[in-house]
Each structure stands twice: as C-alpha cells, then as structure tokens.
C-alpha cells in the first residue's frame, strides 16, 4: 500500500498563490498550524479561504488573514478575528457569510457530486439576493450551490501511513465532509501509526480520500477542554489591552 507521509517542504510545494483552500480549524484551534506557518513563510497569497470561522488574529487560518494573504473568505462568522472585520469594512477582504448548517451542506454537496441543497435559512433576507428560489409543495427554498476547493488542509489526531485519519472529540468537526470536497487533501497529524493499528470503527476519513500526510513536529494541538481554556486566556489578555 502506498505510503502517503510527506515532509513539510513536499507539502508546501503543492500550495500556491490564488488557490481555494478549506481549513478545518475552529476559531483558530485544532488547525494545521505548521503547514499554515509554512504558507506564511513561503509567501502564499491571494487565497480564497473556506472555514467555519475566520480564526483568531494569531491562530490558525486567522494568521493568513492578519497577514493579508486571503482575498476572499467563505465562512459562518468573523467575530473573533479583529483583522478580518477591519479588512472587510476597508474593502480589502471579500466575505461571503453562510449559515453554519448551509455551510456544511454546501460542502457536502460539493463532495458528493450534488447540484446544491434547498434551505429556508436566510429566506426573505439579504442571504437570498442573486440566488434561485425553488418552490416545493407550496414552500419557497433558496437553492444553495455546492462548494469545492483546490485544497483541504485537515487536522487529525492520528493517521496511519496509508492515510486513514482518526480525530479525537471536537477535532472531528468538519474534517470528513471537507475531505470529500477538495481536489488535493492534506492532513497534518499529531501521531503516525503503522497500517492496521487504527481501529477501523474510529477512522473518520478513509485512506483513498487523503493524498498527503504531514506529521506535526512541534507541540500537539490542544483538545477541546484545554483549547477552550487557551482561548479564554487570550480573551482576557485582549480585554486587558483594549
């Protein structure tokens, strides 16, 4: 079976200006941090970023936004990243806001070859502007088109050398459906195990979907409880500096 483990340099060779990239981090935590830092060092720019949020100023995808490497953002909210708010109002960052459930379903549609999804979320608001309205059994729905990306940058707790991924707890997040909706799937993992060591019942993303695995060299990403504590400390520090 093919070994899909690559060096950071080999991963970064696949990342270029102008790509659309999905990020699985939530508010900056549980991110592919070392790959993101590598993108910053390489100078990758003009990205279309797709993520549940815009991260935080100095965490996850938020670091790319803070350094003006992102030109367009598809997300559910940007409230925790001051840089994204400032850039949006300055006209430097194009932001498409998407209700969180719709966000997930549009990516699922992209991954499973569907033409879109019908939803009533946003009906009668600015969310429906420029979109097709479909009537089903007397009710109107917005037709939301699928989302795909050039690259999905995933974070996983464990991977085997074939590319099967396991994600602990909340780090599961949107890893599975983003992995289906990108042309190139790259996973930054905390621990590498031999083929056959992962419990098949706990595999979140199967090997055939994953193209490249990079093993994180520095600290492991904190899981939910410790990550939430970390966020609280950052918020306290920001409040004291305000």
Domain containing 32 — which CATH number? 3.40.1080.10
pLDDT at residue 167 in the model? 92
120 belongs to a structural domain: no
For 223, which DSSP code? -
From first to last of its 242 residues, the chain has per-residue pLDDT tens of 678 999 999 999 999 999 999 999 887 778 999 999 999 999 999 999 999 999 887 888 999 999 999 999 999 999 889 999 999 999 999 999 999 999 999 999 999 999 999 999 999 999 899 999 999 999 999 999 999 999 999 999 999 999 999 998 777 789 999 999 999 999 999 999 999 999 999 999 999 999 999 999 987 765 544 555 666 666 676 667 66
224 belongs to a structural domain: yes
Question: How many CA atoms lie within 13 Å of 40's alpha carbon, on the beta-carbon side?
Answer: 17
pLDDT at residue 30 in the model? 82
131 belongs to a structural domain: no
pLDDT at residue 172 in the model? 79
141 belongs to a structural domain: no
Domain that holds residue 21: 8-97+148-241
- Number of structural domains in the chain: 1
155 belongs to a structural domain: yes
114 belongs to a structural domain: no
Q: Do β-strands 139-144 and 133-136 pair in parallel, antiparallel, or remain unpaired?
A: antiparallel
154 belongs to a structural domain: yes
Q: What residue has token string 């790259």?
A: 186
124 belongs to a structural domain: no
The beta strand positions in the chain, using DSSP E, are 20-23, 47-50, 70-75, 94-97, 117-119, 133-136, 139-144, 149-160, 165-166, 182-193, 212-215
**Residue 8: both structure tokens together:** 């950071």
Give this prediction's pTM: 0.90
């Amino acid at each position: 079976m093919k070994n899909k483990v690559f060096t950071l340099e080999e991963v970064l060779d696949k990342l270029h200006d102008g790509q659309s990239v999905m990020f699985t981090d939530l508010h900056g935590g549980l991110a592919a941090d070392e790959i993101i830092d590598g993108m910053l060092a390489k100078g990758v720019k003009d990205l279309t970023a797709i993520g549940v949020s815009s991260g935080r100023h100095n965490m996850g995808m938020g670091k790319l936004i803070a350094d003006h490497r992102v030109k367009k953002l598809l997300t559910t909210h940007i409230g925790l990243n001051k840089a994204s708010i400032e850039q949006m109002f300055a006209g430097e960052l194009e932001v498409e806001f998407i209700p969180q459930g719709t966000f997930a379903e549009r990516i699922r549609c992209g991954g499973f070859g569907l033409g879109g999804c019908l939803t009533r979320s946003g009906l009668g608001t600015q969310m429906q502007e420029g979109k097709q309205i479909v009537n089903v059994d007397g009710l109107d729905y917005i037709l939301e088109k699928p989302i795909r990306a050039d690259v999905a940058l995933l974070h996983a707790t464990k991977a085997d050398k074939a590319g099967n991924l396991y994600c602990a707890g909340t780090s599961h997040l949107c890893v599975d459906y983003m992995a289906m909706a990108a042309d190139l799937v790259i996973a930054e993992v905390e621990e590498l195990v031999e083929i056959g060591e992962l419990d098949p019942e706990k595999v979140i993303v199967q090997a055939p979907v994953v193209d490249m695995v990079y093993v994180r060299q520095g600290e492991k990403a904190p899981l939910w409880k410790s990550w939430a504590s970390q966020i609280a400390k950052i918020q306290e520090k920001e409040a004291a500096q305000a």
